[in-house]
Amino acid sequence: MKKWMLLAALALLAWQYMDTPSWQNPFSRSKPAPMSIAEDADEAANAPSGSSTLDARCDGRRYCSQMTSCAEAKAFLRSCPGMKMDGDGDGIPCEEQWCRM
């Protein structure tokens, strides 16, 4: 009986470890390659004027605690499937943390 309880506890811990991204190493993400000033200028010239859109790279972040701003959370919600940031389904992510009215 003790072996089964220990096995169940280990299975629960393993499941929680795999399901909770905050347990994973935040430093394991690869950093983007540095760009030269000429490449930055080319990108700025090609960007659509008048709209400040944030390009969200779906890098595995899904929760409000992993975002750094309301704009970033909105871009992720708009661009990436499987986001867990809009609890009430009204299209506004992270209302308690970043996107307060």
Domain for residue 19, yes or no? no
Q: 58 vs 8, which has greater pLDDT?
A: 8
Domain for residue 36, yes or no? no
Domain for residue 79, yes or no? yes
The residue-averaged pLDDT of 64-89 equals 86
Task: Tally the domains of the chain.
Answer: 1
Domain for residue 17, yes or no? no
Read off the pLDDT band of 8 (50, 70, 90): very high
Q: 90 vs 56, which has greater pLDDT?
A: 90
The pLDDT of residue 40 is 46
The answer to whether 57 touches 31, Cβ cutoff 8 Å, is no
Q: Which domain holds residue 76?
A: 59-101
Taking the whole predicted model, whether its pTM rises above 0.85 is answered as: no
For residue 84, pLDDT over 60 is answered with: yes
> Could you tell me what percent of the chain has a pLDDT over 90?
6
Tokens of 43: 């990108």
Domain for residue 82, yes or no? yes
Domain for residue 16, yes or no? no
For residue 99, pLDDT over 60 is answered with: yes
DSSP annotation string for 64-88:
GGG-SSHHHHHHHHHH-TT----TT
What whole-number distance in Å separates Cα of residue 1 and Cα of residue 4?
5
Domain for residue 93, yes or no? yes
Read off the pLDDT band of 42 (50, 70, 90): very low
For residue 67, pLDDT over 80 is answered with: yes
